[in-house]
Chains A and B, each alone.
Chain A
Amino acid sequence: MKSKEYRLWQILANAVMLIFTLGAIIPFILLIIASFTDNNWATVNGFSFFPGKWSVAAFEYIAASWKVIGKSYLMTILVAASGTFLSILVTTTFAFAISEEILPGRRLLNFMCIFTMLFQGGMVASYFIWTQVFHIRDTVAALIFPGLLMNAFNVILVKNYFTFSIPESLKEAARIDGAGEVSIFVRIIMPLSKPILATIGLMTCLSYWNDWTNGLYYLSVKNGSQFFTIQLILNQINENISYLSKNASQMAGVNIGSLPSTTVRMAIAVVGVLPILVIYPFLQKYFVKGITLGGVKG
C-alpha cells in the first residue's frame, strides 16, 4: 500500500519542514540563552548556544529596575486592552450598521470603508493631522488612535459574518417582540459572533502589543516617555546605541549608565516576547484562523 514514492515524499516533506521549523525558532533559542549568559563571558567569547558561564544577573538587573520595566509592561497591557476593546466596539457597531439593508447610504459607507484600503494620505499627512489638528503628541491617545483602531479588512470580515452567519429570522423575531436595533445588536448579534470577535480581537490585540511606530512618531523621550510600552523601551535602547555610535566623540554628554549591558538587552527582549511565547500554544488555532480569514479577500 505505502509505495516507495509515498515514503520518499514523506522524507522530503518532513526534512524540508524540519529545516524551516528550526530556522524559525533557532534565533529565539539563541536570544533566550544569550539572556542567561554571563555578561563578561559573552563580551570575550560572544554569544553561543553553549555558553561557558551561565548567569541570571540580567534578570536580576530587570527585577531591580522593575519600576521602569514593570511600568512599561503595565502600559503595554493597558494600551493593548483598551485599544482592542475600543477597536472591537467601533468595528462591530459600524459593521452592523452597514450590514442592515434598511440603512440609507450603506453603499456609500461601504465604499468609504473600502476606499481606505486603496488610497492613503501617507505618513507625513497623517502625522500632521494627528499632531496639528488633534494634538495627540505625548498623550496616551497617541498609542491607541493613529492607524490601529479600525481597519477596513476587519469591518468587511465582521460585516460578512453578520450577513451570512446570523439568520435573519432571529432578528425579525426580536423586532416583532419590540426590540430596538441597539438591543438586537447587544443581545443577539454580539453573543452569536463570538468566533469572529475572538479572531479579530486577537489580531488587533497583537498589533497593539507589537506596535512601536506610533510611539516613535508621537511620543518624545522628553515628555512622552512615561507612556513608553515595552516595545518602545526596546526601541529606545536601539536609538541610544545608534546615537552613541554616531556621536562616539561626545560620549561624555550621554549617561552611559542608562545603557544596559548586552545580556540585559537580550533579557529585556525576552521579557517583551515572553507573553506571546506563553500564550501562543493555546491560541494557535485562532491566529491561523485570523490569517486565513483576513488573508484572501473578504
Chain B
Amino acid sequence: MAKNTTVLLSKKKRPWRRIIPLYMMALPGIIYMICNNYLPMFGITIAFKKLSVAKGFWGSDWVGLSNFKFLFQSNTAFTSIRNTVLYNVVFIILGTVISISVAILLNEVHSKLASRFYQSLILLPFLISWVVVSYLVYALLSSDTGLINSLLKSLGLNTVNWYQEKSYWPVILTICHIWKGVGYSMVIYLSSIVGFSQDYFEAARIDGASKWQQIRRITLPLLKPTVITMFILSVGRIFSSDFGLFYQVPKNSGALYDVTQTIDVYVYNALMKNSDYGMSSAASVFQSVVGFAMVLAANFIVRRYSEENAIF
C-alpha cells in the first residue's frame, strides 16, 4: 500500500525531472547504435551503386542489381559461399556433439579439483586471439621448422608443404575451430547440466538405471532446450564465418583459397586488397540479408515445433 502511494506521488510530481536525465543517460548508447549499427544498415545501398572515386560515396550512380549479377557469375564468390555453408554445417554438427560429450563427461568427474582443472585449461584457447592461434599453428605446420614435419621426418616419412597443400585444410580448420571453441560451448552445456534437479537421477538410480541410461534418458532430453537455442543461433550465422579462423590460420595463402576462403575473407580481400567495391559490397549485403532471413526462419521453425524454446 505504502509503495503504491509513493509510485503515484512520484508519477504525479513532474515526471520530466526523472525522464530527461534518463534520456540523457540513454543518449550515448542511442548515438552509438545509430553510428555503429543503423547507419551501416542504410549503407547497404552502396551494393546497388557503382562507386566512383570522382563522384564520391553519396553521389555515385545507381546500377540496380548488376553488382549482384557479377557476384553470382564469379567462381570465387560461389566457392566462398559454398565453403561458408559447408564449414558451418560441419562445425554445428561436430561442435555440438563434441561439446555435449565433453560437458557430460566433465560432469561425471567426481573430484572437484580435477574438474576445475580440466575446465580451466580446455577454456584457455577461447581466450586468445586468432592471430596468436596462427602462430601456434605455424609452430606445428611450418614446412621447414614445424613440429609435425620434424615428426614425419624422424619417422622416415615425406614432409608436407602444409601452407600450399589444400587437401588437408578442411580438417585442419575444423580441428582449430573445435580446439578454440569447445571450451566455450562446454561451459554453456555444463552450466545447464549442473542445474538439472538431482531427483531425476536419484529416482533413476533407485530403479536400477545404468549411467549410460541416465545420460540417454535424462541428461540429453533435459539438454534439448539449450541445444535448440544454440542451434538457432548457429543457423542464423550459417552465412557468416569466423574471419580470424579463415584469414589468420591459413595465413591468407592464395594456394588454399579453394578450401579456405569464406564470404568474410572474400569480402575482405575484394575490399581491401583489390578495391573491388561492387563485388565486396554485394557479397557483404548478400551475407547480412540472407543471414537475417536465416535467423527468422530458424526461429519460426522452432516456434512451430516447441514454442517455449524460440528466442523471440
Residues of chain A touching chain B, judged by Cβ–Cβ distance below 8 Å, are 5-6, 9-10, 12-14, 16-18, 20-21, 23-25, 27-28, 30-31, 34, 42-43, 45-49, 89-91, 93-98, 100, 102-104, 109, 112-114, 116, 118-129, 132-134, 145-147, 149-150, 155, 168-169, 172, 175-176, 180-182, 185, 206, 209-213, 216-217, 231, 234-235, 238, 241-242, 246, 262, 265-266, 269, 272-273, 276-277, 280-281, 284, 287-288, 291-292, 295-297
B254 A122 Cβ-Cβ under 8 A: no
A20 B114 Cβ-Cβ under 8 A: no
Using A118-B292, A124-B281, A128-B46 as known contacts, say yes or no to A238 and B179 having CB atoms under 8 A apart: no
Q: CB-nearest residue of chain B relative to A49? A: B147
A96 to B197, CA, bound (A): 34
A-B residue pair count with CB separations less than 8 angstroms: 310
A265 to B236, CA, bound (A): 37
A103 B285 Cβ-Cβ under 8 A: no
Q: How far is the CB of B231 from chain A (nearest CB, A)?
A: 12
Main secondary structure of the interface of B (DSSP, over half): helix
Report chain B residues within 8 Å CB of A123.
264, 267-268, 271, 284
Assess whether B118 is interfacial by the CB under 8 Å rule.
yes
Across the A-B interface, the 7 shortest Cβ-Cβ residue pairs: A121-B40, A94-B29, A125-B43, A46-B150, A122-B284, A97-B26, A210-B129
A28 B22 Cβ-Cβ under 8 A: no
Report chain B residues within 8 Å CB of A182.
21, 25
Residue in B18, B184, B277 whose beta carbon sits within 8 Å of that of A291 in the complex = B184
| Known pairs A234-B132, A277-B124 / 17 extra A-B pairs, C-beta < 8 Å | A12-B108, A14-B114, A20-B122, A23-B179, A46-B153, A47-B139, A118-B292, A120-B37, A123-B267, A124-B267, A150-B29, A272-B129, A272-B131, A284-B123, A287-B123, A287-B127, A295-B188
Report chain A residues within 8 Å CB of B296.
118
Report chain A residues within 8 Å CB of B145.
42-43, 46-47, 262
Instruction: Scan residues 9-48 of chain B and give those whose CB is less than 8 A from a CB of chain A.
Output: 10-11, 15, 17-19, 21-23, 25-26, 28-30, 32-33, 35-44, 46-47
Q: How far is the CB of B29 from chain A (nearest CB, A)?
A: 3
Residues of chain B touching chain A, judged by Cβ–Cβ distance below 8 Å, are 3, 6-7, 10-11, 15, 17-19, 21-23, 25-26, 28-30, 32-33, 35-44, 46-47, 57, 101-102, 105-106, 108-110, 114-115, 117-132, 134-140, 142, 144-147, 149-150, 153, 179, 182-185, 187-188, 191-192, 210-211, 226, 229-230, 236, 243-244, 248, 251-254, 264, 267-268, 271-272, 277, 280-281, 283-285, 287-288, 291-292, 295-296, 311-312
Q: CB-nearest residue of chain B relative to A232? A: B131
A97 B40 Cβ-Cβ under 8 A: no
B120 A284 Cβ-Cβ under 8 A: yes
Q: CB-nearest residue of chain A relative to B309? A: A297
Using A46-B145, A297-B229 as known contacts, say yes or no to A172 and B150 having CB atoms under 8 A apart: no
Using A31-B135, A129-B43 as known contacts, say yes or no to A181 and B25 having CB atoms under 8 A apart: yes
Q: How far is the CB of B41 from chain A (nearest CB, A)?
A: 5
B109 A46 Cβ-Cβ under 8 A: no
B105 A10 Cβ-Cβ under 8 A: no
A-B contact pairs, 11 of them (CB 8 A): A24-B124, A24-B179, A103-B23, A109-B26, A118-B295, A122-B40, A124-B285, A129-B40, A212-B130, A235-B131, A296-B229
Report chain A residues within 8 Å CB of B110.
10
Q: CB-nearest residue of chain B relative to A120? A: B288
A176 B147 Cβ-Cβ under 8 A: no
Residue in A9, A125, A213 whose beta carbon sits within 8 Å of that of B211 in the complex = A9
